[in-house]
Amino acid sequence: MAYMDGFVIPVPKGNRQAYRDLAAMAAPIFIEHGAIRVVECWGDDIKPGKVNDFRTAVIAEEGEDVVFSWIEWPDKETRDAGSAKVMADERMKPEDGQDMPFSGARLIYGGFSVLVDEKA
């Protein structure tokens, strides 16, 4: 059964292209190491919640938008092995002096077992 990694990330609006470039660079590396699919989505219709929402979950600040993304793996075993390979891959290391285009301290992520997967 498929396994998903999910992410919610605050990104300054001015870093949209830099984030996209980073995501486009990283996606093939995840796929090379076993991922089936990598999806990155820029929030453009996030309603404020009464208690919590995507923005408050990542403590998004004024001038930041929220990215919602997921990586699909064939199973958890492939994900565990693939994630370790991705983190060890030299291509994923930032270049000297390169800042990440998002706040890693406020990034939320986790692994999820699929319960329902229906397609049209």
Tens of pLDDT, residue by residue over 12-66, are: 999 999 999 999 999 999 999 999 999 999 999 999 899 999 999 999 999 999 9
Whole-number Å distance between alpha carbons of 39 and 27: 8
Q: Would you say the C-alpha torsion 87, 90, 92, 93 has a positive or negative sign?
A: positive
Do residues 2 and 116 lie in contact, with contact meaning Cβ atoms separated by under 8 Å?
A: no
What residues contact 119, with CB distance under 8 A and at least 6 apart? none
For the entire predicted model, the pTM comes to: 0.91
The token pair that represents 46 in the structure block: 């996030």
Domains (range + CATH), the chain: 8-113 (3.30.70.100)
